[in-house]
Structure 1
Amino acid sequence: MLVFEFKTYGKALQVQAINEAIRTTQFIRNKAIRLWMDGLAKSWIELSRHCALLAKEFLWANKLNSMARQAAAERAWAAISRFYDNCKKKISGKKGFPQFQKDCRSVEYKSTGWKLADNRKSITFTDKNGIGRLKLKGTRDLHFYQINQIKRVRLVKRADGVYAQFCVDANRQENTQPTHQTVGLDVGLESFYTDSLGNKIENPRFYRTLVRKLKRSQRLVSRKVKGSSNRRSSRNTLGRVHLKISRQRKDHALILARCVITSNDVVVYEDLRIKNMAKNHCLAKSINDAGWYQFRIWLEYFGKVFKRITIAVNPSYTTQECSNCGVIVKKSLSTRTHVCQCGCKLDRDHNAGINILNLGLGTVGHTGTFAAPLTTTGGTPATQWLLDASNSLGEATSTLAGEILHQQVVS
């Protein structure tokens, strides 16, 4: 499933109609949650039937397309299902009990309620909300896909306007030549990551760069009277700053992940628990600003697109262990150089990158059914072995985010 996003342009009345549709979506979702809490709905089918009853009871809810109402109930059932799954898995901490939504920002249509223009430059919403025709502006070309491939259309409200997202039923696959290279990545705060060859990528620190502008916008919001138009304008300005930071972080992670995947056949990285690491109040802001998890998500996505092998390994002792002799050399965060009694002297992140690569190659070596020598210096024999294994077993799938080592698969 591919998601293409376009900026929409319309009149003030059309934006007001979009806001009404979003509020109706929020109302239906919250009603579905309340129905489940009261024990009157135990399945998705019962929630779907309740949408029709709401349309008869509230005339303004009937203005929204019937499939859009069902999509709102689906959001409620998705939250309920996630809660049940977390309870079955017996995860530690909160299980994510479904909550009432206070600030919904999107409305989702399925196969009806909208019509795309022949030139794919505008979209018309045909339900009773009165949204009408919206112009589309973006870099993607929808002419490559049939109308029946577009399964859902979503209107998303952001600080700088309203965007239309098209969910297209298509798989993205790109064929590239093998590079016969392997790499291990050690992420950090001083540099974004250091690979097993000693190359470092600078940490951009997007939040730190705009923190002064962010604080000024927050002060302007706090000085305005609640409910006034000036406060709404100041909130919009603050939202634009946050939006810029998030877009910079996403763009950086996307471009970097694509470069890493296309340059290597095997990419090994740390299976970090960012949520637990952010509990350190001294480093929480810097850890969240780095965007390691988003970088990992894009690594795994491009791994599937370019048919590369991505491996998540346990990060324990990757910094302390010597990559040459395997002896544990304890060091604090302020110690940036790894010095071992065997004579090995490396940057601590470079040493960790080599250990991560060794762990990844060893993991794949145990999961396969072939016997071949593994190397960690140049990577050519190990890479060739992994390519032969993946070609014999089929397409190599990326490790799912948040999964542990024994759940990695090669299908």
Structure 2
Amino acid sequence: MMSTIHLIHHSDELVQALNGYKKLLSWPHDWKVPQKTEKPSLDLQDFFLVYNKDPEKLDGLRAAQHLRSHPESFAVPILFLTDKLSDYAQLLLEDLDFVWVCEQPFHSRRFFDMLTKVQTHIAANVSFLKQINETHTALAANQFSQAKKLLNVLADRFQTSLRYHIWVAQVHLGLKELDRALDAALVAQKMRPKSLEVANLLASIYFKKGDTENYNLIMQQTLRLAEIHLQNLLHWGDVYLEQGNVERSITAFEAALEKEPENQRAKQGILAANLVEGRTNIAGTADIASTQSMEIARMFNLKGISMAESGHFRTAERLYNNAMKILPNKEIAYKLWLNLGLCMKKKGDLPAALTYFEKCQELAPAHYKRAEAQITALKDELKQEESTRDFSRIKDRVIRQGDVLNYKKIQNQKGA
């Protein structure tokens, strides 16, 4: 049967790619950007494809949440195409039902295998999915007695799911059976302790019961949506920075500052992103570097190590090189040069590593021997390769594990 995949939050590039694959593979199904009046048909095995193009904005997740808020689309499966989500965004996604996640980078075989899984699921469960939609429709219309009957029909197949217990709690809450509502909500909380939806449901029940103590307790423990948005922006600011995508990193950090103007992680992230681009004269840079030099140095180490671990060595190199220009504390600087040398050594770029270890030694106190040991070892290795003209080990050393500076000790070590 030919189904239609309704594209939500699509891009022109995505549509072009999908049409190309469809033509190449003679795939019989259609892609469609739906109009407001058009609804997918479970009988035709239609479903949604939501493209999470800008994960830092949570727009794709909001689109998926919107689809799950409407009775006619609640049980229509969603294929969610996205970069790996932050832990905070993952909390929101886990509250959504009938979602299949296809992580980027885009891989055509994996993608079309996932499409097949979604369609196979619809084909085997059309009646069940329609009953789910009917139940959601009754709940949305506050027809709690009808919703209760429908849930009883679904119970054998549905009662092991989180959604079943949420809906049971909502039905009893609507029927003013507060103790039974609380029992069901507590089962749901046990199944998924970090669910934002379950926490809000429990708060509503405690409020209706007049249980101020438990209401206040759960409200204190609940991760606020505003905090999720903030932490998600900070996450993507860091990810884009690691990738060397400076402008998107700065945009994410600036959006985080709009939500929390004094957020130090965002301020430091913007500083690091500007340094990657060689912008050392941005307003406020000198003040941050002088008043927070130890903290900033530690932050540079964290970000540089993360960049190196993910393979973005040159981004780490640019960050460290430009960090040296703004950090007034030379004791910190020699440790950063050592760290950059270790990153380059891990990459397998031994000449670059040697250069950085030599810079470290120039600035380091006389008793500091770590750079000297690295220099001796590297010179021996480079000399051996040059004398034998045997470079077969270069490929092996590119992926070998290298040490990194123990940045956790940086504030406690004075010339260690």
Q: TM-score, normalised by structure 1?
A: 0.24
Larger RCO: 1 or 2 (CA < 8 Å, sep 6+): 1
From the CA coordinates, give the structure whose radius of gyration is larger: 2
> Where is the strand percentage greater, Structure 1 or Structure 2?
1
> Where is the helix percentage greater, Structure 1 or Structure 2?
2
